[in-house]
Amino acid sequence: MIKKNGSYRSELREKMRGGEGQVEIQHLWQPQDEMKSKNRLFAKLIIHPGSSIGFHKHENEDEVFVILKGEGEVDDNGAKSVVKPGDSIITGNGAGHSIRCISNENLEVLAVISAY
């Protein structure tokens, strides 16, 4: 199956998980409908300048972030780090994380949440 850019279902979330500002979620593939694997999310997150996803934990699942564009600050279970394109983060096994855009351009992140 092939999907063309621009055909993805998109939604805007205000103050996502207690964060600031606005995050756009482009659902690249729909778990349970288009995917048979145990994914809960397969999406591109577009975090606008000054916006963030608040700190949250992942129990019985992993979330992987791959930074595609922009610059962000990640709180990786208490350790803060600046991330740039090509960097990746994995959070799971009860650990938590948050991410915020610290550049003047959107922070674009490929996000996949897989259950175990």
Q: What is the pTM of this model?
A: 0.94
Res. 32: pLDDT tops 90: no
Question: Nearest to residue 59, comparing CAs of 82, 78, 40, 87?
Answer: 40
Residue entry with tokens 């063309």: 4
Residue 45 CB neighbours (<10 A): 21
Amino acid, res. 39 = N
CATH number of the structural domain 9-115: 2.60.120.10
Cα 73 → chain centroid: 13
> Would you state the pLDDT for residue 36?
87
SS3 category, 23? strand
pLDDT in tens, 59-99: 999 999 999 999 999 999 999 999 999 999 999 999 999 99
